[in-house]
């Protein structure tokens, strides 16, 4: 028993010695530099990913589907084959139309020859009539022959044009027997199967242009005047992905129940996981960027009657009461209590005592300086809770 008591006493003594030694060392903390930033007041609105171009591609001609080389989810490029119709009959129609052109052109050749012959005969008759050496009846006959030949020639010429138009129609049907993708897209739906008869105008597949997806958000009408064309807006998807947006259009409609107007935004830096119908949170700037002093939210400790921070004062933790304003991106606007360049503790401040020695690490600017940033209050922009 004496041996056990001795070991226990030794362990307790060593543990207490470690605690005393630790209390004598400076507290390890992480700090950041308080800076002024250009910030714009924002309002949070919710939007939705919408399609800018979705097409139900239809067959232009009727026929039986010989092949449908695509499935839902396939990526297709402009010009890729979506469906191939049987072309056997269409090829025969093209050959027949070309034969009809040859027949019509041969008839035109005969009609031209007849017209030329009757024209010469009429010219001779006109010369003889001028000399009064041809009876009137014979002259009238020559005139009538010419008129008939002219009509035949015009009719033959029209047959050629009709045959050429028929060939164009046959070639159109043959060329469009191959249904192609009109743009780069992903296949959302396939509505045709091999061997199925497709009527002209029937849907073959539904395509979605992923590069043309946009965000539509209903913005309160009172903030519309602050929006500008091509204005940059930051947004996040419901999965946490960041989206860069650019204002494209403010639609001239208003919802009376909510007093909001639909606004369309082009996605400039897309998240690969976005999908039509997905919810997006946007921070809409409603004022011009202003220069404000910002303290990181993690530096704030709740104190009696307000908020305070610990400032690194030559290696000692100096408490300082601060007055904060609007919540900004990752921090709060400072109304009083701090100055630009102050080094505040953002990690390890919960257990600090006034005047305690500290060993700062990671002193750095809270964010890039000199560039406007979209800001706004968020659900998690709450200062950390600490000791009074």
pLDDT tens track for 86-102: 999 999 999 999 999 99
Asked if the model's pLDDT at residue 373 lies above 50, the reply is no
Residues 301 and 319 in one domain: yes
Instruction: Give the tens place of pLDDT for each residue, 270-307.
Output: 666 788 999 999 988 877 667 888 898 899 998 777 89
Among 99-103, 154-158, 311-315, the least confident range? 311-315
Proportion of the chain above pLDDT 90, given as a percent: 58
CATH number at residue 124: 1.10.287.470
Are 47 and 112 within one domain? no
In-domain check, residue 5: no
| Residue 167 lies in domain | 88-175
The answer to the question of residue 10 being in a domain is no
| Residue 299, domain CATH | 2.40.420.20
Whose structure tokens read 């009172």? 222
Shared domain for 317 and 328, answered yes or no, is yes
Region of residue 30 (phi > 0: left; psi between -120 and 50: alpha; otherwise: beta): beta
70 and 111 part of one domain = no
Judgement on whether residues 76 and 120 belong to the same structural domain of the protein: no
Supply the DSSP string of 147-207, one letter for each residue: HHHHHHHHHHHHHHHHHHHHHHHHHHHHHTTEEE-SSSEEEEEE---TT-EE-TT-EEEEE
DSSP state of 337: S
Q: Within this chain, do residues 188 and 262 fall inside the same structural domain, yes or no? A: no
Judge if 324 and 368 occupy the same domain. Answer: yes
pLDDT attached to residue 165: 97
Of 285, 306, 334, which residue sits at a domain end?
285
Domain count, the chain: 4
- Whose tokens are 């998240």? That residue is 271
Above 50 in pLDDT, residue 18? no
Q: Which residues on adjacent β-strands are paired with residue 373?
A: 39
Q: What is the dihedral sign for C-alpha 290, 295, 301, 303?
A: negative
Distant-in-sequence, close-in-space partners of 324: CB < 8 Å, separation ≥ 6: 295, 300, 307, 332, 333, 334, 335, 383
133 and 237 belong to one structural domain: no
Same domain membership, residue 69 and residue 205: yes
Query: Quick check: is 328 in a domain?
Result: yes
- Half-sphere exposure of residue 88, counting CA atoms within 13 Å on the CB side? 4
Same domain, 193 and 256: no
The dihedral sign for the CA sequence 290, 291, 296, 301: negative
User: In this structure, are 335 and 264 located in the same domain?
Assistant: no
């Amino acid at each position: 028993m004496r041996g056990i008591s001795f070991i226990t006493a030794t362990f307790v003594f060593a543990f207490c010695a470690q605690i005393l030694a630790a209390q004598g060392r400076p507290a390890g903390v992480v700090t950041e530099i308080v800076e002024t930033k250009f910030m714009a007041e924002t309002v949070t609105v919710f939007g939705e990913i919408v399609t800018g171009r979705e097409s139900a591609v239809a067959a232009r001609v009727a026929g039986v589907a010989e092949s449908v080389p695509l499935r839902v989810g396939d990526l297709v490029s402009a010009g890729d084959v979506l469906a191939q119709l049987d072309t056997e009959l269409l090829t025969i129609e093209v050959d027949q139309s070309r034969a009809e052109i040859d027949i019509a052109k041969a008839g035109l050749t005969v009609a031209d020859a007849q017209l030329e012959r009757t024209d010469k005969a009429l010219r001779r008759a006109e010369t003889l009539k001028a000399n009064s050496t041809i009876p009137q009846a014979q002259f009238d006959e020559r005139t009538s022959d010419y008129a008939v030949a002219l009509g035949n020639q015009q009719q033959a010429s029209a047959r050629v044009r009709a045959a050429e138009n028929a060939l164009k129609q046959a070639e159109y049907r043959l060329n469009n027997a191959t249904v192609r993708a009109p743009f780069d897209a992903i296949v959302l739906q396939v509505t045709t199967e091999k061997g199925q008869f497709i009527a002209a105008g029937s849907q073959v597949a539904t395509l979605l242009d992923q590069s043309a997806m946009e965000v539509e958000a209903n913005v309160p009408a009172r903030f519309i005047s602050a929006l500008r064309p091509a204005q940059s807006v930051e947004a996040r998807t419901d999965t946490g992905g960041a989206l860069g947006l650019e204002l494209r259009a403010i639609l001239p409609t208003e919802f009376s129940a909510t007093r909001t107007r639909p606004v369309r935004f082009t996605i400039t830096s897309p998240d690969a996981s976005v999908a039509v119908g997905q919810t997006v949170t946007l921070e809409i700037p409603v004022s011009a960027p202003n220069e404000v002093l910002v303290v990181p939210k993690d530096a704030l400790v709740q104190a009696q009657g307000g908020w305070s921070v610990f400032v690194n004062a030559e290696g000692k933790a100096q408490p300082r009461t601060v007055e904060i304003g609007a919540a900004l991106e990752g921090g709060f606007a400072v109304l009083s209590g701090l100055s630009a360049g102050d080094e505040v503790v953002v990690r390890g401040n919960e257990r600090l005592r006034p005047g305690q020695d500290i060993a700062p690490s990671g002193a750095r600017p809270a964010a890039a300086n000199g560039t406007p940033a979209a800001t706004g209050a968020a659900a998690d922009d709450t200062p950390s809770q600490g000791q009074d």
